Structure 1
Amino acid sequence: MLEKYVARDGEWLLLDAEQLSADPEFSKRASAGSIKECPQAGSHPHLVRQWLLASCLFPGKWINRLFSVGGIQWRGERIGLLAFQAVDIAKDKLYREAAGAAQLPSASVPDVLYEDDYCLVLNKPAGMPVHPSHEGQEGTLDHAACIHQLRQRDPLPVRHIHRLDDDTSGPVLYAKCDLAQLILDEAMREKRIDREYVAAVQGKLKRAKGIVDAPIGKDRHHGARRRVTPSGDAALTRYEVKAELADASIVALRLETGRTHQIRVHMSHLGHPLLGDALYGGPQKPLKHQALHGERLSFPHPLSGKPTMVEAPWPKWLRDLLGDRRF
């Protein structure tokens, strides 16, 4: 409903409160709750804030934050919300590092799988970290997102909502403004963001589909590795065999939790480590990196709440393994 009555104008999100109030769905909500009469153009921002909070159109934390910095104003006949404030590049470390690279033709950005004013989904290639892990590290997906925004001349505060391991490819969701980040972070906590993967694992599984329900914790003998342990955090992975090769299987996987290295740990726990995954016992041929790809990402859109699904095309290693087979 809300998406029909808002529009971006530079840094401002403009809300046509009068038209929204006439919407039958909103009127029904207003009559059933404590929503006050629609504020008149020019009325005090405090009254506008009260109406916005009562209507529950946006997170209350965000509305109060905007009000505290003068970010609720009348823009003609519409309510203006300072939702798309540009980053001060001189003060933002990622943008400072990305600014030089953005001028270079050789600085490529991974494929954009989805984009609007609120969200950006990039197709992360294997071998590219999502974010810097040490001082001075550049060339991450976060840097690529900033380069993309700079080239669009729209330096918004892009922030990743979830991560992928360095050697895993697939879609990564970014919020492009504080409003989207608040809503998507909550959706992530409530497990309303769904991620589906495809992997090549060693050997042939005994069952065509199943569930791995095994807690995961740190391996005290290896700083980078995780392991199944009764004292670990709850972790649940659903899997289904999609194709069998000579000495490997192609498996579709869905995470019910999001533990570090979850798929890699669980498949190794079953005795079928990922091809190329040396850390968890996977064979190093024919791949030199773990054979894991994020195939599909689903999330509720931060403005409309409508389900949004993004698919990432299969990488070359997967196409090569499968040949003419598809699923």
Structure 2
Amino acid sequence: MRTPPKLHWKVSRLSKSTKVSQYLKEEKGFSSRLIKRIKQEGAVYGNGKQMALYHHLTGGETLSVILPLSSFPEDIPVWHKKVPICWEDDHLLLVNKPAGVPMFPGRGLEAQTLAGAIKSYYERSSLSASFHAVSRLDKQTSGLVTIAKHAYAHQRLSQFFQEGRGHKRYIGITEGIWEKKRGRIEAPIGRKPDSLIEHQVDLKGKYALTEYQVLEEQEGYSYVQFELLTGRTHQIRVHSAYCGHPLLGDDLYGGNSAEMSRQALHAYELQFCHPVTETWHTVQAELPVDMRRG
């Protein structure tokens, strides 16, 4: 039997009586759409007794919200592949995605995707959860991917990242030695004309900001930590190439693919404020073998 996701909070002291729906929206960040779905398919309990969304809270109640049942997209083929799990609870799943694995089926309807592997994991574990990718990686980029198990966790964590309540850090191997060992790359990014894939620095593009720090230098290459402060397509790849230091193996943006068959980029650390408990967590994903040089 499938079990719907549940949320629990202790309502703090309120300055005035507040409707449950208003509390969920203003204090817990529920969207109007999700509140409507809870009214139709979920339930709310205060101190163990079911209550309507128009019921008033006075403060001190133990509030429980039963969310609508989550479902996994049916058109995603199951892939019986075990992906390393870095962190998990009832609301979130953080995994270490291998390079070469796409997030979702594409036009060719790939049978081997991260979504398919997670679908298999849910089935093996008898989990009634969905697949909401809070963070996404290119097929050839390895590292941490954050998956929300239900709509509220996805909505809330995405909002936290937009508010700066989170940090996404990557390690890349770039060509050449950076003159300035730490800095910010602030350059707008847009799609390259006549290309469906490639992007470029473009004054008419979207604002993009990346912070970087050189960690190590060896034999004409640099290990660099990148932190995304915006989330543009191919942002690190474009910004790194723009600075004259393309990622090793990234032939799309001028990198040398003779020594490495994919772009040397790994999402290695995530610091985030939990969407339900609002506690801070730091999760890391081990650097893959193909990026360990020397």
> TM-score over 0.5 for the alignment?
yes
Q: Shift of the alpha carbon at 1:12?
A: 5.3
- From 30, 37, 42, the counterpart of 1:59: 30
For residues 77 and 154 of structure 1, what CA distance do their matches in structure 2 show?
A: 26
Kindly report which structure 2 residues correspond to 1:232-311, keeping only aligned pairs within 5 A, or say none: 232-311=205-284
Give the counterpart letter for 2:74 in structure 1. Answer: D
1:70-89 mapped onto 2 (5 Å cutoff): 70-72=42-44, 77=49, 80-83=64-67, 85-87=69-71
- Separation (CA, whole Å) in 1 of partners of 2:103 and 2:145: 8
CA contact (8 A) 1:214 1:266 kept: yes
Measured after TM superposition, the shift of residue 295 of structure 1 is 1.0
SS in 2 for 1:171: strand
Unaligned runs of 5+ in 1: 1-8, 37-46, 102-106
Q: Which residue identity does 2:30 align to in structure 1?
A: P
How many angstroms apart in 2 are the aligned matches of 1:69 and 1:240? Answer: 48
**Counterpart for residue 39 of structure 1:** none
Letter in 1 for 2:69: Q
Q: CA separation in 2, counterparts of 1:83 and 1:124?
A: 28
Shift of 1:92: 2.7
Q: So what's the TM-score if we normalise by structure 1?
A: 0.78
Q: Which amino acid aligns with 1:72?
A: V
How many angstroms apart in 1 are the aligned matches of 2:243 and 2:23? 51
* Separation of aligned partners in 2, 1:317 and 1:137: 24
Q: Distance in 2 between matches of 1:298 and 1:222?
A: 34
The answer to whether the 8 A contact 1:14-1:75 is kept is no
Give the distance between the partners of 1:238 and 1:297, measured in 2 at CA.
15
SS at 2:99's partner residue?
coil
Contact 2:188 2:205 in 1 (8 A): yes
Distance across 1 between alignment mates of 2:196 and 2:109: 22
How far residue 305 of structure 1 moved from its aligned partner, in angstroms, is 1.1
Paired residues of 1:219 and 1:226 also in contact (CA < 8 A): yes
User: 1:119 is matched with which residue?
Assistant: 92
Query: Which structure: greater helix fraction?
Result: 1
C-alpha spacing 1:81/1:217, structure 2 compared with 1 (3 Å): same
- Mapped to 2, the partners of 1:268 and 1:14 lie a distance apart of 44
What is the Cα deviation at residue 192 of structure 1? 2.8
- In our comparison, the structure showing a higher alpha carbon Rg is 1
How far apart, CA to CA, are the structure 2 residues paired with 1:272 and 1:14?
46
SS of aligned partner of 1:263: helix
Distance 1:15 1:293, change over 3 A: closer
Local SS of the residue matching 1:93: coil
Q: Distance in 2 between matches of 1:253 and 1:54?
A: 35
Match of 1:143 among 116, 131, 142: 116
Question: Matched residues in 2 for 1:153 and 1:75: separation?
Answer: 29
Distance across 1 between alignment mates of 2:31 and 2:123:
30
Which residue among 127, 130, 138 is the counterpart of 1:154? 127
Counting aligned pairs with the same residue, the percent is 31
How many angstroms does 1:53 deviate by?
4.2
- Equivalent residue number for residue 35 of structure 1: 17
CA distance in 2, matches of 1:184, 1:174: 10
Provide closer, same or farther for how the CA distance between residues 50 and 248 of structure 1 changes in structure 2, counting only shifts above 3 A. Answer: closer
Report the Cα distance in structure 2 between the residues aligned to 1:73 and 1:164, rounded to whole angstroms.
38
CA distance in 2, matches of 1:84, 1:73: 14
Q: 2:255 is matched by which residue type in structure 1?
A: G
Gaps of 5+ in 2: 51-62
User: Cα distance, 1:133 vs. partner?
Assistant: 2.0
Change (3 A) 1:208 1:55: closer
CA displacement, residues 35-89 of structure 1 (integer Å, 9 cap, x when unaligned): 35xxxxxxxxxx7x458548834625333430133533579557653226242x6
Tell me the CA shift for residue 222 of structure 1: 2.9
Counterpart contact for 1:84–1:156, Cα < 8 Å: no
Q: Which residue of 2 aligns with 1:104?
A: none
Which is further off, 127-136 or 238-247? 127-136
Q: Following TM superposition, by how much is the alpha carbon of 1:135 offset from its aligned partner in structure 2, in angstroms?
A: 5.4
SS in 2 for 1:123: strand
How many residues are treated as equivalent by the alignment? 280
